[in-house]
Amino acid sequence: MDIFLGLLQVILREGFIYGIMAVGVYITYKVLDFPDLTVDGSFPLGMCTAAALISAGVNPWLACLVSFAAGAAAGAVTGLLHVKLHITDLLSGILVMTALYSVNMVITMDRGVVPFYDLPTIFNSGLGGALHTTLDQWGWVLMALIVCMVVKLLVDLYLKTRSGLLLRASGSNAQFVISQGKNPGTMKILGLMIGNGLTALSGCVLAQQKESADIASGTGMVVMSLAAVIIGEAVLGRVKWMKPTLTAIIGMILYRTCLTAAMQMGMDTNYLKMLMSIIFVAALVASRAASGRGKHNGTAVDRTRI
Amino acid sequence: MAQQLTAPASEPLVRMEHIDKTFNAGSVNEVVLFQDFNLQIARGSFVTVVGSNGSGKTTILNLLCGSLPVDSGSIYMNHRDITKMKEYERSRFVGRVFQDPAAGTCPSLTILENMALADKKGGHFLLQPGVERKRTAYYQEQLSQLHMGLEDKLGIQVGSLSGGQRQALALLIATMTPIELLILDEHTAALDPRSSETVMQITRHVVEEKKITALMVTHNLKFAADYGDRLIMMHRGQMVLDMVGAEKDNLEIRSLTDKFNEISIEDGN
Ligand SMILES: Nc1ncnc2c1ncn2[C@@H]1O[C@H](COP(=O)(O)OP(=O)(O)OP(=O)(O)O)[C@@H](O)[C@H]1O
Ligand SMILES: [Mg+2]
């Protein structure tokens, strides 16, 4: 029973933390219709930024803001490569992801793993500290939940603003944005900034929880968050009151549950990344089958474009 | 003195001067479409454009809207040289409805959200509330003029409307804020005969009520003859017919069809 509870805590805690990234990827992938591979680089960027700043004694909340800004800058570069230099969406992401590896090395001063134990983080100081003292492990889960929900609510609010509506329009009909006198390229860049900002924030929060940053942590982040978005939509997409941001977060929790279950069944950790891809393919195939049954109004979506 | 007062009014709204346009220059697919093409559109006129396939109708519209650049020549609108202006910048004073009903509206947003965005065309799109509730009555009043019952469906996604409904809505959206020129590219071609009749009537209503200068491409010679006060026929990048006012009013659909067949035979269709 204790083992089970312990696993549940880990799944929820990490689900909420990675859920922040899932919300970001929801924006680039679903709202903007942009398959953004920058994510594999901006996640460790957030982790490394957190490690560098907190080691230097910076306030952990400020570290969150700076990480968001760093991720947003990475997203802006991807967007500029795509919009201004007309490099394809996939390649723009790959280029920035690759370049970010060097950036992350510089930030961590050539260290692959940067621990920063016993320094103040959002989990062991202030509100997080108080929660941890009273609720022990559940305190961390609660803290992750709070951060994740604040992000989700802010994103929901943003998508209802004038700028947010235009962002949604630019993903589904760029000509419509042009007709409203706005440059759809600018909206793409903005969306990529938000998406990668949230991804880096997710990395920053995870680093603070683990009190350590890992430069190799980015591998598989695109796959994981896309899977979360797709699973969430397939399982809960038809629940009217649930916003897609929430279904993405729940999708992430379901995905983490699958991974944890496999690990518990004795799977070698070396197979983890492969399993991440396999679950993704399974989710994609299942969601296609589900939407094939459900949707009649065939708004042309090229489903081969991931 | 009197001359000075009337001069600006008779000045055309749009002037396309000495336009050259070649596609795929230098390749085997080269198409020399326009060579020293000139077109003036008077303020307040409603021009219908007909012509064979590939005669350059859509290209004229694309050049006016800025979706395509000219090779050489200049385009003026309302005294401004807009030749180098970007398409999205021109949108502030040029409205456009496309042949494809999916192009003029945003399918994933609701009718209300579509109208709210169009309402703010050219303004700042920042963190203000996307939909201003106090404007909904105005939107409903506008929608009720379409007689399609859309005023009761503000909250539904535009993607689930029929083609005719979407085109009617696209017309409203394109003319929501004051514009100088309305461009219609076969905007009823994808609709069934009844819906296209309805959308044409709405078009006339909107153009007359808002006193917009309009340029409408159509393959329907009857629409071309019935609507508007000037008719242009295009053929291989040239105007082969240009009738204004009384001359157009007296035009018989028969002679228009004959002329059209004549140029089509030349093309071997
Ligand atoms: N973007 C483009 N690239 C290459 N060629 C083009 C392009 N746009 C138009 N053309 C060519 O220019 C010519 C005129 O095309 P345009 O679309 O203006 O004709 P149209 O009068 O609108 O014809 P339709 O009645 O079929 O719509 C055609 O020969 C076409 O192949
Ligand atoms: Mg055409």
Chain B hits for A177, Cβ within 8 Å: 88
pLDDT tens, residue by residue, A162-210: 999 999 999 999 999 999 999 999 999 999 999 999 999 999 999 999 9
Choosing from B27, B29, B55 the residue with most ligand 1 atoms within 8 A of its CB, the one to mutate for a pocket test is B55
- Interface A-B, measured as beta-carbon pairs within 8 A, has a size of 89
pLDDT band at A293 (very low <50, low <70, confident <90, very high): low
Q: What confidence score (pLDDT) does residue A2 get?
A: 84
- Looking at the CA of B55, which ligand is closest? 1
Torsion of CA B259, B264, B267, B269, to 10 degrees: -160
Q: Is the CB of B213 under 6 A from ligand 1?
A: no
Q: Is residue A303 over pLDDT 80?
A: no
Choosing from B21, B24, B31 the residue with most ligand 1 atoms within 8 A of its CB, the one to mutate for a pocket test is B31
Spatial contact of A75 and A38, defined as CB atoms under 8 Å apart: yes
Q: What confidence score (pLDDT) does residue A112 get?
A: 92
ipTM rounded to 2 decimals: 0.90
What's the B84 CA to ligand 2 centre distance in angstroms? 23
| Residue B93 covered by a domain | no
Q: What confidence score (pLDDT) does residue B9 get?
A: 53
Contacts for A76-83 with beta carbons within 8 Å, 24 or more apart?
A76/A189, A76/A192, A76/A193, A78/A36, A78/A38, A78/A192, A78/A196, A79/A185, A79/A188, A79/A189, A79/A190, A79/A191, A79/A192, A79/A193, A80/A189, A82/A34, A82/A188, A83/A185, A83/A186, A83/A188, A83/A189
Q: Is the CB of B57 under 6 A from ligand 1?
A: yes
| Residue B123 covered by a domain | yes
Query: Are B104 and A168 an interchain contact pair (Cβ–Cβ within 8 Å)?
Result: no
Question: In which element (H, E) is residue A154 found?
Answer: helix A137-159
What's the B237 CA to ligand 1 centre distance in angstroms? 10
Q: Is the CB of B23 under 6 A from ligand 1?
A: yes
Collect the ranges in chain B with pLDDT lower than 50. Answer: 1-7
Q: Which residue CA neighbors atom 5 of ligand 1 most closely?
A: B23
Q: Is the CB of B59 under 6 A from ligand 1?
A: yes
Q: What confidence score (pLDDT) does residue A292 get?
A: 63
Distance CA B222, CA B48 (A): 11
Q: What confidence score (pLDDT) does residue A153 get?
A: 98
Number of domains in chain B: 1
pLDDT band at A218 (very low <50, low <70, confident <90, very high): very high
Q: Which residues of B217-237 are buried (b: 16+ CB within 10 A; e: fewer)?
A: bbbbbebbbebbbbbbbbbbb
Q: Is residue A73 over pLDDT 60?
A: yes
Give me the domain span that covers residue B115. Answer: 105-177
Choosing from B58, B61, B63, B186 the residue with most ligand 1 atoms within 8 A of its CB, the one to mutate for a pocket test is B58
| Residue B56 covered by a domain | no
Sequence ranges of the domains in chain A: 2-218
Tell me the mean pLDDT in the region A217-227. 94
For A26, A229, A243, A252, B214, the CA distances from A284, given in Å and listed in that order, are 15, 10, 20, 14, 47
| Residue B63 covered by a domain | no
Q: Which residue CA neighbors atom 22 of ligand 1 most closely?
A: B58
Q: Is residue A267 over pLDDT 90?
A: no
Question: In three state form, how does the secondary structure of chain B look?
Answer: CHHHHHHHHHCCCEEEEEEEEEECCCCCCCEEEEEEEEEEECCCCEEEEEECCCCCHHHHHHHHHCCCCCCEEEEEECCEECCCCCHHHHCCCEEEECCCCCCCCCCCCEHHHHHHHHHCCCCCCCCCECCCHHHHHHHHHHHHCCCCCHHHCCCCEHHHCCHHHHHHHHHHHHCCCCCCEEEEECCCCCCCHHHHHHHHHHHHHHHHHHCCEEEEECCCHHHHHHCCCEEEEEECCEEEEEEEHHHHHCCCHHHHHHHHHHHHHHHCC
Distance CA B194, CA A207 (A): 63
Query: Are A182 and B102 an interchain contact pair (Cβ–Cβ within 8 Å)?
Result: no
Q: What confidence score (pLDDT) does residue B190 get?
A: 87
Q: What confidence score (pLDDT) does residue A296 get?
A: 40
| Residue B231 covered by a domain | no
| Residue B41 covered by a domain | no
Chain A hits for B89, Cβ within 8 Å: 181
Distance CA B221, CA A59 (A): 72
Going A140 to A142 to A145 to A149, the CA torsion angle's sign is negative
Q: Is residue A231 over pLDDT 50?
A: yes
| Residue B241 covered by a domain | no
Query: Are A183 and B103 an interchain contact pair (Cβ–Cβ within 8 Å)?
Result: no
Please state, for a pLDDT cut of 90, what percent of chain A lies above it.
80
* Nearest atom (ligand 1) to Cα of B59: 18
- Looking at the CA of B236, which ligand is closest? 1
Chain B hits for A179, Cβ within 8 Å: 91, 95-96, 104, 121, 173-174
Please identify which residue in the block is written with the tokens 């603003």: A161
Residues 6+ apart with CB under 8 A from B43: B9, B11, B12, B13, B213
| Residue B120 covered by a domain | yes
* Nearest atom (ligand 1) to Cα of B186: 27
Q: Which residue in A176, A189, A240, A297 has the most chain B C-beta atoms within 10 A of its own C-beta, making it the best mutation to test that interface?
A: A176
Chain B hits for A184, Cβ within 8 Å: 88
Q: What confidence score (pLDDT) does residue A287 get?
A: 81
> What's the gap in Å between the CA of B44 and the closest CA on chain A?
22
Number of CB atoms found within 10 A of residue B149's CB? 10
Chain A hits for B92, Cβ within 8 Å: 181
